Amino acid sequence: MGSNASPLTDESYWTTLWDGQQHKIRHLRWAYVANRHLARLFHRSLSSFTQPTLIELGCADSLWLPYLAKKYDSECYGIDFSELGCQLAQRNLALAGVKGTILCEDFFTYAKTHIADFDFVYSMGLIEHFTSPQAVLEEMYSLLKPGGTMLTITPNLRGMYTPIARIASPKLLATHREIPPITLAELLRNVGFQVTEFGYTGGPLKLSVVDYSPWRAVIGKWGHEVLCKFVNLTDIVVGNFLAAIRVPNQQLTSPYVYAICAKPK
């Protein structure tokens, strides 16, 4: 573990979270506005590479690794310290019929022995789980080749999602650092990255950015399933309606904060 970065979660937290996913087969669904926005971010990050070598940090149950392996003919890796999460990530690759390497180990230990290995490094919810996000970004910087690109995405737990999270999953707020876009860009520049763009993304609505699993103990398994289906349906119907009337990405309702940056050559 990096000396300046203490985790706000442990493996048991993630095992409990992924336990609810192990009996479900999930796929990227383009009906979600958020997925379409994220796909565009990946395209802007990867369009200049041919057969890139890439890694997802915190890859548990990743649906994006199979997509990127196919779309960009990439040599893909994923790393996570949750054994169950790694099993789910490997299952998703196998279901998509693509090859990839899933590493079940501590990211900080791995980063110290794989300097400048990757053209593209990305995370979709990682740095906010540590007391020092900048210390995590420093390790991510070391993984990139000179001229490589990094995409960092964190949940936007501000605006309307803060009161929802307080009711649905108070522990969610306790295990996350709030990182606004301008702060994320500043952290990246402090590390040495050249930041090309940053802001809010994911469209005008994604209620499922909040974890509703604690309510399983309150309303039961089937009640929780109904709640999740309602949330997902709202994301699709209302999210697409708001996108159609051109509600922009912004702090109040967009689910993610992001930044695209490069390691100088």
pLDDT value at 1 more than 50 = no
Rounded Cα–Cα distance for residues 217 and 224 (Å):
9
pLDDT at 18 over 70: no
Eight-class DSSP state of 214: G
What's the CATH fold of domain 11-162+177-206+248-262? Rossmann fold (3.40.50)
Sign of CA dihedral 217, 219, 223, 227: negative
Instruction: Identify the pLDDT of residue 72.
Output: 96
For the stretch 83-113, pLDDT in tens is 888 999 999 999 999 999 999 998 899 999 9
pLDDT digits (tens, 9 = 90+) for 37-81: 999 999 999 999 999 999 999 998 899 999 999 999 999 999 998
Tens of pLDDT along 170-210?
A: 777 778 888 999 999 999 999 999 999 999 999 999 999 98
pLDDT averaged over every residue in the chain = 90
SS3 of residue 46 by DSSP: helix
Q: Which two tokens stand for residue 210?
A: 């909040």
Q: How far apart are the first and last CA of the chain?
A: 28
Percent of the chain whose predicted confidence (pLDDT) is above 90: 70
DSSP tag of 247: P
14-18, 63-67, 165-169: which is most confident:
63-67
Position 252 scores a pLDDT of 96
Q: Output the pTM of the full model.
A: 0.91
Instruction: Characterise 202 by phi-psi region: left (phi > 0), alpha (psi -120 to 50), beta (else).
Output: left
